[in-house]
Amino acid sequence: MTFPIRPVAESEWPALTRVLEEAFGWTPHPEQSARFKAQTEFDRTIGAFDGDQLVGAAAAFSLSMTVPGGRLPVAGVTSVSVLPSHRRRGVLSSLMRTQLADVRERGEHVAALYASEASIYGRYGYGRASSELSFHLRKPDAAFVREWPQDPSLRLRVVKPADVRSDLEKLFASLVARRPGRYERPELVWDVVLADEEYDQRGAGPLRSVLAEDDGGVRGYALFRVKTSWDAHGLPDGELKLQELEAADPAAYALLWRSVLERDLISRVEAGGRPADDPLVALLADPRRLRAEVADELWVRLVDVDQALASRAYAAPVDVVIEVEDDVCPWNAGRRRLTAGPSGAVCGPVDDAPDVTLPVAALGSAYLGDGQLGELLQAGLLREHSPGAVRALAAAMSWSPKPWCGLTF
């Protein structure tokens, strides 16, 4: 049985939210739903229909995302959902294939998403392209190394986030280009970041902020909530939940972390969604006491392999013939030569014998600079025909700092 795919009209928002609520077990406050509707690009939102009933959906945001060496328009895939009554009937496959064809028609070479279930998206050519850490740190364990960077010109200022929104936006915009995976935030996204109604707080208290600044302006900020608590003996046992910490330089970064970790009446700090190479690990005098959990973050799909590979920078020279396997986007399948280095890249079809044969998802995983090409080779999930070719390709596609998006879309 087939289910026709067509755009979802704005007037069909109630039907779309019903699919999302059923698929994700999500019941937002009406105001939260209104914010999400305001962000939705209905010309990029498609649905699968069973008669007049919307039974599945997929959407995308038009993102400007940093990649190694520059910035690209990227399709930020979101709201992929199917009613429980219509699972395993081809709805998801139809939605994903239709969406990828649309992304290609729009001239976007790359799609990215946060996976609700990691087992799903590899089937459609997405590869795990970045990781994130969640930190758990007790206040008594938070001493820094003696050499931690300090700048006497820096000072802290406690502020209400809404009162300094323009400062936060300006600083963040100055940092986006520094790390692959980050994307420019429009006004509507900042509305969500700074949202602070009771239903946004989830029992963790109001959104708070501290700035690190000097006479020249703001050099960093932290956004967090404080959940106050006392133990049975009347001792403070509060928890600080860090939402964001952004800084333009190491001294501002370290000072903001000290402010967070030394806050009165706090016994522990929880910080989810931090980059895999977060320098906090290096700053701690005893990093063993930091409890860090790792999880996948961005998943990336090369929609046009040749254009995507030619549109990023490379850490080292490489000249390799890649044979790509891609049964979802057949225009990508076949052999191409990638000749690349720090000064640029060229990629296009050839008839030469391949050095490497790999699924398109493997290239997606490596695209932002933190791929697992070597691990995939050892696992037998790609094939190397010329000894050393995978190592050379992995070295060329690597990047520092490691990719990190930092905000779910």
For the chain, give every domain's residue range: 5-125, 133-294, 305-397
Spatial distance between the Cα atoms of 370 and 394, rounded to a whole number of angstroms: 9
Contact 171, 195 (CB under 8 A): no
The sheet carrying 127-128 orders its strands as 5-7, 46-50, 53-67, 70-82, 110-114, 298-302, 127-128
Annotated catalytic residues are 121, 409
CATH code for 133-294? 3.40.630.30
Check the annotation: does 91 bind a ligand: yes
**pLDDT of 313:** 97
**pLDDT of 362:** 98
Q: Which two tokens stand for residue 183?
A: 């994307």
In 3D space, the residue among 194, 208, 188 whose CA is nearest the CA of residue 37 turns out to be 188
Which residues, including other chains, have CB under 8 Å from residue 41's CB and lie 6 or more apart? 59, 60, 61, 62
**pLDDT of 336:** 98
Check the annotation: does 92 bind a ligand: yes
**pLDDT of 26:** 87
**pLDDT of 199:** 94
CA distances for 141 relative to 228, 237, 256, 261, angstroms: 20, 15, 17, 10
Output the DSSP codes for 316-346.
Answer: S-EEEEEEEE-SSSGGG-EEEEEEEETTEEE
Check the annotation: does 400 bind a ligand: no
Spatial distance between the Cα atoms of 358 and 361, rounded to a whole number of angstroms: 8
Range 305-397 has CATH code 1.10.3720.10: no
Which residues, including other chains, have CB under 8 Å from residue 105's CB and lie 6 or more apart? none
Q: Which two tokens stand for residue 312?
A: 């990023």
Class of domain 5-125: alpha beta
Output the DSSP codes for 202-258.
Answer: TTS---EEEEEEETTEEEEEEEEEEE--B-TTS-B-EEEEEEEEEESSHHHHHHHHH
Contact 75, 107 (CB under 8 A): no
Residue 11: CB atoms within 10 A of its CB come to 8
Check the annotation: does 187 bind a ligand: no
Spatial distance between the Cα atoms of 204 and 234, rounded to a whole number of angstroms: 20
Spatial distance between the Cα atoms of 325 and 277, rounded to a whole number of angstroms: 31
**Residue-wise pLDDT tens for the chain (409 aa)?**
689 999 999 999 999 999 999 999 989 999 999 999 999 999 999 999 999 999 999 999 999 999 999 999 999 999 999 999 999 999 999 999 999 999 999 999 999 999 999 999 999 999 999 999 999 999 999 999 999 999 999 999 999 999 999 999 999 999 999 999 999 999 999 999 999 999 999 999 999 999 999 999 999 999 999 999 999 999 989 999 999 999 999 999 999 999 999 999 999 999 999 999 999 999 999 999 999 999 999 999 999 999 999 999 999 999 999 999 999 999 999 999 999 999 999 999 999 999 999 999 999 999 999 989 999 999 999 999 999 999 999 999 999 999 999 999 9
Check the annotation: does 89 bind a ligand: yes
Check the annotation: does 146 bind a ligand: no
Contact 254, 148 (CB under 8 A): yes
Task: Report the phi/psi class of residue 270: left, alpha or beta, with left for phi > 0 and alpha for psi in -120 to 50.
Answer: beta
Please provide the size of the chain in residues: 409
Domains 133-294 and 305-397 equal at CATH topology level: no
Contact 228, 265 (CB under 8 A): yes
Q: What's the DSSP call for residue 35? A: H
